[in-house]
Structure 1
């Protein structure tokens, strides 16, 4: 069973990573149209009930994109004193505005306490969303809040390999990039710069 901290981390990162390098030196947006949000939600069946039948509307797309801008602004703040993702550096929301947007989105769906008490363990409580207007953005915002206030935030980094715009969770002390391909690009770029200067 997936721990709620892991779920929050994965959802928060996956939402932020809908902004990505397009393979041609630019930035692509997986949430550029309602079909993109529909596909993203369907790929994350634990986000909303009946995710397989989910169809995004323009208003919901706009709300999720606004939430994502807040998330990336707060991720940029979380990686300080490191630099934010190059995709965000010139257009970050002010942190107080990002916090306000995130909190407003989280409040769109009320939650209720749900008791769990299995054999061999004591009682525990978790919060469950009550279906309502703004459910998708509320669930995402609550996951982001869980991530930003949890232990994984300390390992959040922005990848600074050439052309990368991703954030990632640092898995080991020497990790500098989000994936091996980014490390290779960074080494090739450094090699090119060294040899360009000596030519």
Structure 2
């Protein structure tokens, strides 16, 4: 999985639907399921089982990465999900860099049927440290990569996601969000027009 997708997936574990905010790392079962779906990209055992301590550390890392994303999109507004509750910038930067160093990963050359790039982690690290290192590394690569200038927050109603603007005319993270935003805009214009008619003396 490319660093861009892994980083966006990680910050996107905070999302929203009609009922409100959803946290895909809200408990150990939810985190276990989320990690297992990405076990290979995260360099962890496919049978990974989250502990409460690992979950809390991973959530702490996620909030640090979200703080860096918020800084990256400035002066545009950050995600509405948690903008007022994010940790400080310097603290977040230190935490992400520390997570990368806790289980260093380096490129390795494999040759099954020809040259192939793989990533190897420090062998002494446990799954939880490797997991956080992989997530932090993906965030660092994304934040220093070519896609960063196109990072945006989706401004559609109820959406709290970050996305990469892949097309010049793209305004929202998905077609569904675009439809919702257009419907909301149409509703506001209709109400404004209706209000103007009701107050008109003619």
Alignment TM class, shorter chain as reference: 0.7 to 0.9
Partner of 1:86: 80
Greater share of helix: 2
Measure, in 1, the Cα distance between the counterparts of 2:110 and 2:159. 42
Measure, in 2, the Cα distance between the counterparts of 1:36 and 1:162. 25
Could you say what secondary structure the match of 1:151 adopts?
Answer: coil
Cα deviations by residue, 1:163-196 (Å, 9 ceiling, x for unpaired): 0000111110010000011111111111111122
Per the normalisation by structure 1, the TM-score is 0.87
Taking a change above 3 Å as real, the CA distance of residues 154 and 87 of structure 1, as seen in their structure-2 partners, is same
Q: State whether structure 2 residue 125 is matched by structure 1 residue 130.
A: no
Q: State whether structure 2 residue 13 is matched by structure 1 residue 21.
A: no
Which structure's CA Rg is the greater one? Answer: 2
Matches within 5 A, 1:142-157: 142-157=137-152
Cα deviations by residue, 1:3-60 (Å, 9 ceiling, x for unpaired): xxxx111110001111010322x21101000111110111113212322x11000111
* Aligned counterpart for 2:170 among listed residues 169, 172, 175: 175
Partner of 1:55: 49
Q: State whether structure 2 residue 162 is matched by structure 1 residue 162.
A: no
**What runs of 5+ residues in structure 1 fail to find an aligned partner?**
none
Q: Figure out how many residues of one structure are paired with residues of the other and give that number.
A: 190
Q: State whether structure 2 residue 16 is matched by structure 1 residue 39.
A: no
Q: State whether structure 2 residue 58 is matched by structure 1 residue 64.
A: yes
**What runs of 5+ residues in structure 2 fail to find an aligned partner?**
196-202
Taking a change above 3 Å as real, the CA distance of residues 55 and 119 of structure 1, as seen in their structure-2 partners, is closer
Q: State whether structure 2 residue 2 is matched by structure 1 residue 10.
A: no
Q: State whether structure 2 residue 99 is matched by structure 1 residue 105.
A: yes
CA contact (8 A) 1:35 1:56 kept: yes
CA contact (8 A) 2:105 2:122 kept: yes
